[in-house]
Amino acid sequence: MGQTRDHGPWSGVIRRCAHRPLRQRQQQAGLQYYAAGFPAKAHSALWGDSFQAELGKIGSEVTSTGANVLVVMLGSNDLAYLTSPAATIDNLATYIQRARASHPGIDVVVGEVLDRYDPWTKTYQLTAQVNDYASRLHTLASQLNTSSERVVVAPTRTGWDPATMTWDGTHPNPTGEALIAQRISQGLAQLGIGSTSPDVSGPHAWAVAGPTPVLTPGSERVALSWDRTPSGATGMFIEQRLTNTNEPWTRLPYPVAGDGWTAAQLIAGGTYQYRLVPSKGFSTGVAGPAAQATVSGPDLGAIGSVSGTAVGASSYGGQAAAVTWSASTNATAYLLSYRMLSDGSIAWSDLPYPVTQRSWTFEPLYQGRRYQFRILPSRGYLHGQWAASSPVRMKGWPADSVQVSLGDSYSAGMGSEDGYYGSPSCLRSTQAWPNKIFSGFRVAMSLQACPGAQVPDVSGQLAGMNSFFAARPGKAQLVTLTVGGNDVGFGAELAKCVATDCTGDESYIAGLIPVLHTHLKGLYSQIKGAQPYADVIAGGYPDVVDQNGTSGNLACIGLSGNERDMVDRLTLALNAAITSAAQEAGIWSVGQGVRYEFAGHGACAAGIDAWINAFIGTAPPDGGLPIDPRSFHPNDSGQSAYAIAFTNALNSAMR
């Protein structure tokens, strides 16, 4: 019989609190039951109970249980809230008398009332009342104890310290329960019931494990629920850890009352584990099994655009690119990646950490190489979709480049004084201008151009280009070409003009140029498609005949001023078509740069000022005699001029 601190089974009317430690002590002593082989046991202890409340019930409880031993540990609530020590002793005497009246011969074990402790003020309470009550209790026991109706006082105050033996300053923790159980056993042993050994008093952990929580994940949150009733806990400490980073367990700084709690402001996409640690006042149990859940988050919007710009030299060496991008809805950071584009291995390199801004400077990057940049929106561990920029070429001439030159006789070096090689149908010269450009940066060069080539023929040259590049993967690539003059019949027309007046052909030839524009655009696009990471530059043609030239060459004598003006107009139109087609196909163009470089140095210029051969032959050209193929093509000086025109255009494009 007792209040909340007095719970535990005994014979007859039994209290509850000392239940587990006493069972443990008696099991260690080899006994199957709590104190002895009692045929029946009953609890009558209640939370907040007192002698005042039990006086009217004890008789019927003894009768209904048939108890012959009564264990009593009441009085704490009486002394704290209801009656004085003297009045409490008077109530105890009446209590015992009524129990005896219901069952003459009943034995009684009475535990001493225990003092309390205020953990906030760190002071002991009820000490004076407890001491006064204990003195009166021992006197009363001596007065009521007889050989047929024994009354024994259990020395529960011996070794008692509420500062360390309660979970709230009042109610015993496992250490306090063990002490009380040991002292009550000492009282029972005086009645010949059980024994006092082994001694179970001493430190006892409250080794109650928490239940497994039920987790309901949501958007950046997890709702936890549990049942704390089986553990006897008044609250639960919640322990959490993020498994993505293998972080250690972190405990919430206070126990949560009730049977649920929501963890909010979690990292989207994170996988969390939770476990519960029971709490009962100032007593703490042990962690129970962990449960795991992955939280979601809001959807991340698509990045609308990624823009990259080459910004020049980097302070770290090499080049730099500034990249900006549009915002992704709900993103809190962005992952960045870049790659150098080539015909070799293309692998993305990731920035090792996310950024929160929407701009970044990538550096150092290789000079003259093309790069692509991509951005991934993120929120915690959730990721959206990659968005990539268009290729961005870094400024400058790339080192260790590979060059292929395509085209017609104006790229093959026809007109040079010597150095020819190849078959009669495709003569090339070692003095050709493509050999003169980029020489300090390239590691290999292939001249694929052939005299007489038209657009379809240059398209056929792409197989050689592709093979050459494929044998040198990963290198920077440069493609140069000249084509178009043969498609509109420039060479044949010049030969005709030398022999006879050809000005009537201007409208016909001019009409061919728009058609050529379409074919050129298709060819340039084909080259770009075959080698998407190459620098491709198309060149035009010079004014072949100097309008004011005074050379006495047979061809020059035969060309009138009107014919020379016609050739100039057609060259201008042809170059314009080449430039326009190049722009539309996304490649570079020398534009009218060749004309400007050759100004005043066309065929028929006097002496060494002529950078283009006029008629080369031994007989007057009359349309029926063969003309040396070097006629109306750049000589060695003209090859150098072509190289300068292309170099200037490349320098301009690469800046």
Q: How far apart are the C-alpha atoms of 184 and 70, rounded to whole Å?
A: 12
CB atoms under 10 Å from CB of 602, counted, come to 30
Give the pLDDT confidence of 341-393 residue by residue, as tens digits.
987 778 999 999 999 999 999 999 999 999 999 999 999 999 999 999 999 99
The crossing angle, in degrees rounded to 10, of helices 85-102 and 127-144 is 40
pLDDT at 555: 77
Q: How far apart are the C-alpha atoms of 107 and 262, rounded to whole Å?
A: 54
Record the tokens describing residue 519, joined without a space. Answer: 């074919």
Give the pLDDT confidence of 243-256 residue by residue, as tens digits.
999 999 999 999 99
Residue 464 has pLDDT above 80, yes or no: yes
Q: How far apart are the C-alpha atoms of 635 and 651, rounded to whole Å?
A: 24
Residue 4 has pLDDT above 70, yes or no: no
Q: How far apart are the C-alpha atoms of 640 and 435, rounded to whole Å?
A: 10
pLDDT at 18: 30
Q: How far apart are the C-alpha atoms of 300 and 266, rounded to whole Å?
A: 16
**pLDDT mean over 287-312:** 97
Who wins on pLDDT, 508 or 556?
508
Question: Contact 168/206 with Cβ under 8 angstroms?
Answer: no
pLDDT at 377: 98
How far apart, in Å, are the Cα atoms of 604 and each of 59, 498, 543?
Answer: 143, 12, 11
Instruction: For the chain, give the mean pLDDT.
Output: 90
DSSP letter at 166 equals: B
Give the pLDDT confidence of 432-462 residue by residue, as tens digits.
999 999 888 889 999 999 999 999 999 999 9
Which among 622, 620, 626 is positioned nearest to 500, based on CA atoms? 622
Record the tokens describing residue 545, joined without a space. Answer: 């005949």
Mean pLDDT lowest among 153-157, 456-460, 475-479, 495-499: 495-499
Identify the band that residue 626 occupies on the pLDDT scale cut at 50, 70 and 90: low
Give the pLDDT confidence of 307-322 residue by residue, as tens digits.
999 999 999 999 999 9
Helix (H) or strand (E) holding 238: strand 235-242
End-to-end C-alpha distance for the chain, whole angstroms = 98
C-alpha torsion 494→498→501→503, nearest 10: 20
Could you tell me how many residues make up the chain?
Answer: 655
Q: How far apart are the C-alpha atoms of 502 and 496, rounded to whole Å?
A: 7
260-263/291-294 β-pairing: unpaired
CB atoms under 10 Å from CB of 448, counted, come to 24
Identify the band that residue 15 occupies on the pLDDT scale cut at 50, 70 and 90: very low
The crossing angle, in degrees rounded to 10, of helices 455-470 and 506-530 is 20
Portion of the chain with pLDDT greater than 70, in percent: 92
Who wins on pLDDT, 33 or 467?
467
Portion of the chain with pLDDT greater than 90, in percent: 79
**pLDDT mean over 182-200:** 93
Identify the band that residue 24 occupies on the pLDDT scale cut at 50, 70 and 90: very low
pLDDT at 149: 96
**Residue 167 identity:** W
Identify the band that residue 491 occupies on the pLDDT scale cut at 50, 70 and 90: confident
**pLDDT mean over 92-107:** 96
Helix (H) or strand (E) holding 157: none
pLDDT at 575: 96
Which among 477, 436, 481 is positioned nearest to 461, based on CA atoms? 481
Q: How far apart are the C-alpha atoms of 442 and 620, rounded to whole Å?
A: 44
Record the tokens describing residue 246, joined without a space. Answer: 């293998």
pLDDT at 1: 53
Query: Which domains, ranges and CATH numbers included, belong to the chain?
Result: 4-190 (3.40.50.1110), 214-294 (2.60.40.10), 306-393 (2.60.40.10), 401-654 (3.40.50.1110)
How far apart, in Å, are the Cα atoms of 514 and each of 123, 381, 478, 576, 580?
Answer: 105, 56, 27, 10, 11
Record the tokens describing residue 261, joined without a space. Answer: 């709690």
Residue 414 has pLDDT above 50, yes or no: yes
**pLDDT mean over 526-555:** 90
